[in-house]
Structure 1
Amino acid sequence: MTNKYDIEEIYSEPIQAFTIWMKQSGYTEATRKEYKREVFDYLSSLDELPVQQAGKLHVVSFLVSKQESAGDRTRNRTLSAIRSFYTSLIDFELATRNPALEVKKSKTEKNKIPVYLEEQELKKVLTYVEGRFRDRNLAIFLLMGYCGLRVGEVHRLNLSHFKKEKGTLEVLGKGRKWNEIPLPEMVVDVLVKVAEERIQPYSSKEEAFFVSQKGRRLSIRQIQKIAAQVFDAFKQDHPQMTDMRLSCHKLRHSFATMLLNNNVDIRVVKELLGHASIETTMIYTHINDEQKRSAMTTIEIPVI
């Protein structure tokens, strides 16, 4: 495979076009970085073949090589990156077709039930948020677990996005789309306290709501690390949860499942989650064992 520096020279124009296109299209910094890394690997596999000459076989061959060390979810993300790459080239008239569109996504991911915490389990997790920055970290957990925010959305929050008087939060989601979220009263109280106790930022221009110990915007990786530490402490006291892969996004899954279990209209859940399509929200409409048992108790069997 060709090294990174050769790739940048050989495919400089397509890479530049893709970089500009992603930024213009409103992709987040994290997505741009991830997609660019995936595309670099793909271009390396082409062995200097012009991107316009690559076809479905080249895309599939690359995905198969990746799949040996990764699952369907990773494969689908890689395919999405390559599709976006060719879309950008077509947009800038550097290519005429998108061979990645001819490749189907894995169906396994669509059938996978999201991992989530039951409402009582989520309450227990909150009790493990401790330490010097407890209020700040508790606010982060509340926003993800009880308001459905993505970790990137928590990271991007500014002080001005919190509307104390209205009790709402303006959230910048995927595709640079804004979504106004009504906040539970308890969450408003916690956010007010966090804003008052906020660490003085290193830069006077820093507007981040959540600030690190060093006075900078709390990064996505730092937020994930905070969550991981809380989950580890929780699992130590709940060994039955040891094998459960908990993460920031699982808190969002828990929020969506909690709303649907409380019979909230799926269209409302879609808006609160900031989904572009209701099909995305549908993955949370799984039925748990308790609901199955409850349904069976409604059946009256005659005495024979």
Structure 2
Amino acid sequence: MDDIPVPIPAQPVRFMDRLRAFMRGRQLAYRTEKTYCGWIRDYIRFHKMRRPEEMGKAEVDAWLGHLASQRNVSVNTQKTALNAIVFLYRQFLNIELGKLDFDRTSKGQRLPVVFSHEEATAVIDKLQGHHRLLVSLMYGAGLRVMEAVRLRVHDVDFGHQCIFVREAKGDKWRRTLLPKSLAPSLQAQIELALSIHKRDLEEGFGAVYLPHALAKKYPNAATSPGWQYIFPAPDRSMDPRSQVMRRHHLGEQQVRRAVAKALSETGIRKKASCHTFRHSFATRLLASGTDIRNIQELLGHSDINTTMIYTHVIGIHERGVVSPID
């Protein structure tokens, strides 16, 4: 249940509670909230638990430089830490840091690892049941693992052959492809999920978690079929935050472990993971001639430069370039 926000007091007093309340008022995605809070805690601990209001540019430069020189973080990781600390000062504390001058990480940007189509299907063939369908959606629709496990019944539009991804990274919504070959399996999985939901209702449960204040705004939505997770957890569990017994979605770590096991069985030596299927989705579309702007929209990237990385992944042999020795 890592995607369910931790409760905070109605009138928060502690610093981190006030920060979380501020972030939620700004409608930040919960994963962004967790990431920013983690880096801000790291910053405070690095400076021996000093109050952020008592620190400024010099302390921020020292911390960011430490991440680069001592902890050897990547370029993107240092950027995320920078974004978190800038949010803290500019947005929450209303303090201008001025021009920062910190040591930037020297680790260059790495190209994403991708599968060939044969490798992707070989891994998928090693999977069974809902794990197979989930990973097929990652490859066929470009979903992140958390986006896949969080799909709800009303997110799939069979008529228009599309999938709606709601509250994705950066709290963005997008529409992506529904692979025709997966439609029958997805329909069967939805029917299974709704039969489990029906049984939960008969046993006095069946209210699913709803994001933000939807549970108050729409009291009946939590038990309606459309809001149910397509990939429900095998068992009901007590939500440690709300103390409500409910059935959550399948855990992303279960899917990661299944993919890791399948990778080892196929003997593929690449440093791959669930996210490799999303990278492979983008590169296969690019290799087949899909416009880069369409790929950007399907992946939900705000910046076209993020999508452009895949142009460097496509092998030059796929552009008709042949080695002189051949």
Using the size of structure 1 for normalisation, the TM-score is 0.79
CA root-mean-square deviation? 2.7
- Secondary structure class of the residue paired with 1:22: helix
The offset of 1:253, in angstroms, is 0.8
1:219-275 Cα shifts (integer Å, max 9, x gaps): 5xx22332332333332331xx33x22222221111111111111100000010011
Which amino acid is the alignment partner of residue 290 of structure 1? Answer: H
Aligned to 1:79: 82
Which amino acid is the alignment partner of residue 150 of structure 1? Answer: R
- Structure 1 residue corresponding to 2:263, chosen from 220, 234, 242: 234
Equivalent pair of 1:224/1:248 in contact (CA under 8 Å) = no
Where does structure 2 lack aligned partners over 5 or more consecutive residues?
Answer: 1-11, 209-227, 237-246
Aligned to 2:302: 276
2:206 pairs with 1:204: yes
- Structure 1 residue corresponding to 2:133, chosen from 139, 143, 150: 139
- Structure 2 residue corresponding to 1:192, chosen from 187, 191, 202: 187
Check 1:276–1:237 CA distance in 2 against 1; reply closer, same or farther (3 A cut). Answer: closer
The offset of 1:85, in angstroms, is 1.9
Aligned to 1:154: 148
Aligned to 1:213: 234
Aligned to 2:318: 291
Which amino acid is the alignment partner of residue 40 of structure 1? Answer: R
Partner Cα separation in structure 2 for residue 104 and residue 264 of structure 1: 39
**Structure in which a larger fraction of residues adopt helix:** 1
Which amino acid is the alignment partner of residue 121 of structure 2? Answer: K
Check 1:87–1:139 CA distance in 2 against 1; reply closer, same or farther (3 A cut). Answer: farther
Aligned to 2:25: 24
Where does structure 1 lack aligned partners over 5 or more consecutive residues?
Answer: 1-10, 300-304
Partner Cα separation in structure 2 for residue 106 and residue 262 of structure 1: 35
- Structure 2 residue corresponding to 1:129, chosen from 114, 127, 130: 127
- Secondary structure class of the residue paired with 1:180: strand
Check 1:237–1:26 CA distance in 2 against 1; reply closer, same or farther (3 A cut). Answer: same
- Secondary structure class of the residue paired with 1:169: strand
Check 1:100–1:254 CA distance in 2 against 1; reply closer, same or farther (3 A cut). Answer: farther
Which amino acid is the alignment partner of residue 285 of structure 1? Answer: T
Partner Cα separation in structure 1 for residue 89 and residue 278 of structure 2: 31
Equivalent pair of 2:295/2:307 in contact (CA under 8 Å) = yes
Partner Cα separation in structure 2 for residue 108 and residue 83 of structure 1: 22
Report the number of matched residues.
Answer: 273
Using the size of structure 2 for normalisation, the TM-score is 0.74
